Structure 1
Amino acid sequence: MSKRERWNALLELLAAEGRLDVEEAAGTLEVSSATIRRDLDELAEQQMLVRTRGGAIAHGVSYELPLRYKSSRRAPEKQRIAAAVADLVGDREVVGLNGGTTTTEVARVLALRFGGGPREDGEAAASAPALTVVTNALNIAAELAVRPQIKTVSTGGVARPTTYELVGPLTSGVLNEVVLDAAVLGVDGVDAQLGVMAHHEDEAGVSRRLAERANRVIVATDSSKLGRRAFARICGLERVDILVTDVNVSAETSAALADAGVKVIAV
């Protein structure tokens, strides 16, 4: 197990339990206690946790893994979901993307499909981009900005350090002025009665505005989020057209979503 993998596992344990014990973590990861102590010391230097006698605790009351450490979770599923979502995006459309690991994968697939080789219509590319992406995610905007055939629109706002998302009134100001063909939303929870949700109200507000400005709404999420609730509601399922998830979605959940009018694509 590499250091990055150990750090990811330790932060996962910390997110679940709120605290870590050196000896227990060493047993779980099957490494020495000395290795765990060194890892915790280095993570503490990066302000990822607070060291205690014999272990560590999370910063503050709540704890959220930064995006760079969440990116390896369920990676194959997210890559398949991203490819399926990209199949739903047409040439020259305007697409809104919120932040998160799944939408980041979607952006990468879109970059390859729409920002790769030369356009067949030659000079038309200069006046009509192959794709326009509107996003409040700094990391997504940075990855797409180098693709000249993709027009990248980044909202203003205040950056959240764990997700790289821009939030607040400045973000809403930009979104109020755009019209989207599709909004692709990564979410933290999907409930048949309550709809789709996020952990933070400011991020939920941005996702809600993206949905309101879009002709169609595509939710991209792995099956672990289905049947779960989160703190802040984005919108009801009546606003969602398609949900793309992995093949581990249960038949019961698929049926409940279909009954709510949502087309479910499992890949």
Structure 2
Amino acid sequence: MTAILDQLASSGSVDVGELAEQFEVSPATIRRDLQALEDGRLLSRTHGGAVAADVSFEVPVRYRSGQHREEKVKIARKVMAMLPSGPFTLGLTGGTTTHLLARSMATRVDVTVVTNALNIAHELVMRPRIKLIMTGGVSRTQSYELVGPLADQALNGLYMEVAVVGVDGISARGGLTTHDEIEANTNATMIRRAGKVIVVADGSKIGKICLAGIGPITDVATLVTDATADPAGVEEIRRTGVDVLVVE
């Protein structure tokens, strides 16, 4: 389904027959996928295909996990190598790259992880040598995060030496942004309670500004992105004093 959304984003419309031929599946399979995406308000079906929805909706995590995966894996590996050795407390917001980082934590010991992301908690709960702290809050289907006053209250009572934050957009002018204002506020709370903030963002998010502001670019100590990022956008962020690491 991710490939269908990618093609729809680039061309504005898709054809059932062409998709079936491209992906070597039956037209019935494509029609089922299109129906599922329409049910999620991610496109509008037409006779013989589909067009982009009139309103831009946030793509759910389950569809985003395959987008830019190679770049996100490299970013997660880089951040893993940057984390302190020995005992420390790590905050993780929701996001596909932070989820990949959580998977890498299986080899760590004596680490406390604080997160508001249900999929990250599921990843870590069976790791006996990692202490997991989960916030409360109201769940967001799009991001698998718990957000709102309950999450904020839990985070306000904690301190994290490092927070790794996923964003939907980051730029020198717009700072850190995401699609939902309540999620943005919870992420901002985690940032305020962290000693050091590392933002993870694949190249497609550099220079992008979304609806809800999480915080200014000056909140960030280090940005880790990949080589597909717009060089001008990267340079603008560097000029603000943020340490930008571009993985090859």
Please classify the TM superposition score into its range, dividing by the shorter chain length. 0.7 to 0.9
Report 1:1-267 matches (<5 A). Answer: 7-14=1-8, 20-23=14-17, 25-26=19-20, 29=22, 31=24, 35-42=26-33, 44=35, 47-48=39-40, 51-56=45-50, 61-90=55-84, 91-112=86-107, 114-115=108-109, 130-267=110-247
- CA displacement at 1:167 relative to structure 2: 1.1
Rg comparison, structure with higher value: 1
Q: Secondary structure at the match of 2:77?
A: helix
Q: Greater strand percent: which structure?
A: 2
Question: Structure 2 unaligned runs (5+)?
Answer: none
- CA displacement at 1:26 relative to structure 2: 4.6
Distance 2:135 2:11 in 1: 35
Distance 1:64 1:14 in 2: 14
- CA displacement at 1:110 relative to structure 2: 2.0
Identity %: 41
Deviation per CA, 1:172-228: give whole Å up to 9, x if none.
111111111111111111111221111111221111111111011100111111111
- CA displacement at 1:51 relative to structure 2: 4.7
Distance 2:59 2:87 in 1: 35
Change (3 A) 1:183 1:56: same
Change (3 A) 1:92 1:161: same
Change (3 A) 1:17 1:85: same
Distance 2:53 2:121 in 1: 29
- CA displacement at 1:37 relative to structure 2: 3.8
Give the residue type in structure 2 aligned to 1:213: R
Paired residues of 1:135 and 1:154 also in contact (CA < 8 A): yes
Question: Structure 1 unaligned runs (5+)?
Answer: 1-6, 116-129
Distance 2:191 2:171 in 1: 17
Q: What is the alpha-carbon root mean square deviation over aligned residues? A: 2.5
Q: Secondary structure at the match of 2:131?
A: strand
- CA displacement at 1:57 relative to structure 2: 5.8
Deviation per CA, 1:47-85: give whole Å up to 9, x if none.
446654333467784433321221111112111111111
Distance 2:134 2:54 in 1: 30
Q: Provide TM-score, normalisation by structure 1.
A: 0.81
- CA displacement at 1:39 relative to structure 2: 2.4
Distance 1:246 1:182 in 2: 21
Paired residues of 1:191 and 1:226 also in contact (CA < 8 A): yes
Runs of 4+ in structure 1 displaced over 6 angstroms?
Answer: none
Q: How many residues align?
A: 243
Q: Secondary structure at the match of 1:82?
A: helix
- CA displacement at 1:16 relative to structure 2: 6.0
- CA displacement at 1:111 relative to structure 2: 2.4
Distance 2:206 2:158 in 1: 30
